[in-house]
Structure 1
Amino acid sequence: MTAPPPRVAMVAGEASGDLLAALLLDGLQAHSPGLQSHGIGGPQMGSRGFNAWWPSDRLAVHGYSLQVLRRLRELLGIRKQLRERLLADRPDVFIGVDAPDFNLSLEADLRAAGVRTVHFVCPSIWAWRADRVEKIRRSADHVLCVFPFEPELLAQHGIAATYVGHPLAGVIPMEPDRAAARARIGLRDADEVLAILPGSRESEIEYIAPLFFAAAALLRRTRPAIKLLVPALPALRERIVLAARSCGLAGAALEIVSGQSHSVLAACDAALVASGTATLEAALFKRPMVISYRMHPLSWQLMRRKQLQPWVGLPNILCRDFVVPELIQNAATPQALCAATLQWLDARCSAPQKITDLEQRFTALHASLQRNTSQLAADAICKIISNAA
């Protein structure tokens, strides 16, 4: 008798989680045609047949901001309804994709009730939140890790894990085609280009975008011909334009490129990037960058107490070195950001070996993260389902 296809429940928060979960669904569906999936997800998951009971953007909050506090009751209500629904009609496995503040507590409740649980993307216990180790141990039967050092770290705490590689390392080419990217955007080969990626969350547009644009305005005083490109979702365009205008960047001074962050990173000479996944993307495109972040002072005080390493940006954490500069919180002034960016731009002529050395470090990093993530993750999940049968 043929076993019925597995039933998988998933929760993915924000656009990045939607993409990661879609990758899992590709692997699971290749392994188990007819697989049924439901829970909280976005359009990428929906295009793969996922039944979204709530859209993933309902979970899109960050940090310790007032936005989180204002929406806490709503988020707790969604989690309670989802838990009750999953316990009433149990899936073969529950997969929490990122969104640890939402997912880990839900996973703990489901696991205590006998539902197998997987968490995809290990929370950054090695950088910020060592206190989450015990919560992960209670919550997840298995953790899928995107960085090679994480399974050994989790094993020290009795947590089963599998390294599946980082999905971005398989999407971004080892040798990006700079000329083709410039042609797509309408740039000349001789143009000097700065990519500006201030983030997409409400708090990032508030605290980081004005800083980056003020730094870019200073930069244009010495390099008036430089091209300033901001990859952004269409929904953020108006807010980004307002932030840029407030810093004196209007009209042709700055170009907003809708939905082409990878083309912009492949095309640029250097990047000014808010700390987060975009810094890893810039590293995989082998681009010099300045990493920065600023948040509400209260959020910063809470976060810095949890910091376990001297680095904040993912490229520096993974290379175990300050391979690119970091300017965080009070150090993130327009003047400092401008000066650090200028050093990279000047190095292309005055110190090309510095650029070559950085590209070599990032190439080695890229190779270490490149795996068949979809298949490895699906294999680990299907093994968990089989062992539970």
Structure 2
Amino acid sequence: MSAPTTTPRQFALVAGEASGDLLASLLLEGLQARWPDMHAAGIGGPRMLARGFESWWPQEKLAVRGYIEVLRHYAEIAGIRRQLKARLLREWPQLFIGVDAPDFNLDLEAGLRGRGLKTVHFVCPSIWAWRADRVDKIRAAADHVLCIFPFEPALLAKQGIAASYVGHPVANVIPITPDRAAARAALGIEADATVVALLPGSRRSELRYLASRFFSAAALMQRARPALKFIAPVLPALRAEVEQLLVASPMAGQVQLLDGQSHTALAACDVTLIASGTATLEAALFKRPMVIAYNMHSLSWRLMHRQQLQPWVGLPNILCGEFVVPELLQDAATPEALAEATLAWLAAPDRVAALQQRFATLHDELRRDTPTLCADAIQKVLQS
């Protein structure tokens, strides 16, 4: 069956969470520079919308992590994917680009590619860290993979999967030397304050398991050092839930909640207590010491932990190949342990300085002209 006719430069994208929204917005920058009349639609967040993206469903519908949590929302998510696939096969864009969210996007890409629509997957799933069995799924799903870490294209090539290294987009967004003073001024924080940024995640499921632990840890830190200032960036869509958790915690009225502004918070802080995920890499690029934490449903944890291929979970540790920052996961993520590990950074300026130098080297390795490299790779796919 021949493919339906298509209007030139019509792209479809799905970015399922806040980190994917940032990645996709930079990809859109490259596409718009290459093809100024292009149009993109699908599922995306506020940064994509600011670039003229048309989102058919709210991005928050897909922002679920963990096996048990996904099962609770499976019917709705599967329904969105079926409707989206049907619409894309009717409208037939030139290219579908799945941005991260592999559990949602890879199956969708495979179905579209099986009908003849070209597909690109942006962000190689972490097959080098866990779930190596995903290689076969990636091969079936994507005509090309855009990789954000330099070692990934060679790994995929060995599996017969075409890929390009495009750098990590966040490395170009974050300055080599963050302006702490300007960030503090923007947030109304004193220049000489000692600031702890609390980042318990950007998904409801993460907040459910982590926010109360983080607030309890903050209370213990405040007891030890009463002058500490606490800030917490929150997605506007989740602010009411975070406020409710904060009011029920020992830190009610003592944490400055920010609408978004996670980068401003990381630039302003001295140390961050942070959920495992893309935000940990952003913290590393801001050269901030951190304590990485995670907690989820116990069954989800057992299933994920069993498939882990490396001793590290946090991206800074994975990329550095050692535990450069603490990881407190599942049962180890107690408020007492979180508070102790976070305060330890504030008492070790030499250790912080060494970490900042390590993170500066990592930043340099990840900086590339990502929008242009993405557009170059996508143009080759379109011409193939």
- Does TM-score exceed 0.5, indicating one fold? yes
Residue 22 of structure 1 aligns with an amino acid whose one-letter code is S
Counterpart of 1:277 in structure 2 is 278
Q: Deviations over 1:34-54 (max 9, x none)?
A: 123232233433333333333
- The match for 2:323 is 322
Given candidates 377, 382, 386, the residue that maps to 2:379 is 382
Which deviates more, 293-302 or 188-197? Answer: 188-197
Question: Quick one: which of 5, 9, 22 aligns to 1:6?
Answer: 9
Q: Tell me which amino acid in the other structure corresponds to 1:334.
A: P
Residues 5, 32 of structure 1: 8 Å contact kept: no
Look up the match of 1:62: 65
Match of 1:362 in 2: 359
Contact 2:214 2:273 in 1 (8 A): yes
| 1:174 paired residue among 173, 176, 179 | 176
TM-score normalised by structure 2 residue count: 0.94
Q: 1:36 to 1:292 in 2, by over 3 A?
A: same
Q: Give the equivalent residue in structure 1 for 2:28.
A: 25
**Cα distance change, pair 293–39 in 1 and its aligned pair in 2 (3 A):** same
The percent identity for this pair of structures is 63
Is the CA contact 2:23–2:170 (under 8 Å) kept in the aligned structure 1?
A: no
SS in 2 for 1:130: coil
**Shift in Å at residue 194 of structure 1?**
0.8
Q: 1:42 to 1:183 in 2, by over 3 A?
A: closer
Partner of 1:215: 217
Task: Tell me whether 179-188 or 324-333 shows the greater mean CA deviation.
Answer: 179-188
Are the aligned partners of 2:196 and 2:269 in contact in 1 as well (CA < 8 Å)? yes
Question: What's the offset of the Cα at 1:4?
Answer: 6.6
Tell me which residue corresponds to 1:153: 155
Per the normalisation by structure 1, the TM-score is 0.93
- Name the amino acid aligned to 2:32: Q
| Maintained 8 Å contact 1:126/1:308 | yes
2:37 aligned residue:
34
Residue of structure 1 equivalent to 2:334:
333
Structure 2: how far apart are the matches of 1:255 and 1:49? 32
Unaligned segments of structure 1, at least 5 residues: none
CA contact (8 A) 1:193 1:267 kept: yes
Using the TM superposition, name which of 181-190 and 134-143 deviates more: 181-190
Secondary structure of the structure 2 residue equivalent to 1:208: helix
Task: Report if the CA contact (8 A) 1:5-1:33 is conserved.
Answer: no
Secondary structure of 1:308's aligned partner: coil
Distance in 2 between the 1:212 and 1:41 partners?
A: 28
Q: Give the distance between the partners of 2:327 and 2:115, measured in 1 at CA.
A: 44
Query: Which of 90, 107, 128 is residue 92 of structure 2 equivalent to?
Result: 90
User: In the alignment, is residue 195 of structure 1 matched against residue 192 of structure 2?
Assistant: no
SS of residue matched to 1:362:
helix
Alpha-carbon distance change, 227 to 65 in structure 1, aligned in 2, over 3 angstroms:
same
Deviations 1:58-96 (A, max 9, x none): 322222134x22332222222222222322342222111
